[in-house]
Amino acid sequence: MEAIKIHEGIELNPEKGEMLVYGVRHVTHAPEQIYREIDLVMGSSADVLVHVVWHREGYREFESALERQRDKSKEEILRDVAESDRYEGWGITSYEIQDQPTLKIFLRVKNPPVKSVQGSAIRSITGFWSGVFSKFCDKRVTPHDLRYDADKDEFTCTMSV
């Protein structure tokens, strides 16, 4: 059985039992369950650890995409990374970047895998995207104003320098 292309850069290979995202093997997991256990073991320091790990992952993923796709602009690659979320189970991600008078990024994720802003699980989203936007903007951005609206099933936050 051949590999199945899910989206640009994302493929499943049932014969090998693997999923590749831009050539890197991925596995699926239930994030809230795993992060709940991390929170129990580490307490409030789990937020910091999860944020830093995912920030580094987002930064590296965007950096790697820039290297792989030299024929595309940074803006096109940013759109591709956001679009790939829907094929990887992260929900439907959109963003708005305002750079006047100061840099602000508004992030929105519809149907996120994390349905609360409590605990470290939400840091998988905020950490990853702060890493992506830090590389995109060449400035360290920090997420704040985290909100989850259960009626809309939508997570939002603002990022700024």
Q: pLDDT at residue 49 above 90?
A: yes
Which of 7-16, 23-32, 83-92, 147-156 holds the top average pLDDT?
147-156
- Cβ atoms 53, 46 nearer than 8 A: no
User: Nearest CA to 36 among 112, 119, 115, 111?
Assistant: 119
Q: Model confidence at 91, in pLDDT bands (50, 70, 90)? A: very high
Pairing of strands 142-149, 104-110: unpaired
pTM for the model? 0.90
Q: In the predicted model, what is the mean pLDDT of residues 32-43? A: 93
Q: pLDDT at residue 100 above 90?
A: no
Distance CA 155, CA 147 (A): 6
The class of domain 43-160 in CATH terms is alpha beta
Q: In the predicted model, what is the mean pLDDT of residues 42-51? A: 95
Q: In the predicted model, what is the mean pLDDT of residues 26-44? A: 90
Sequence spans of domains, the chain: 43-160
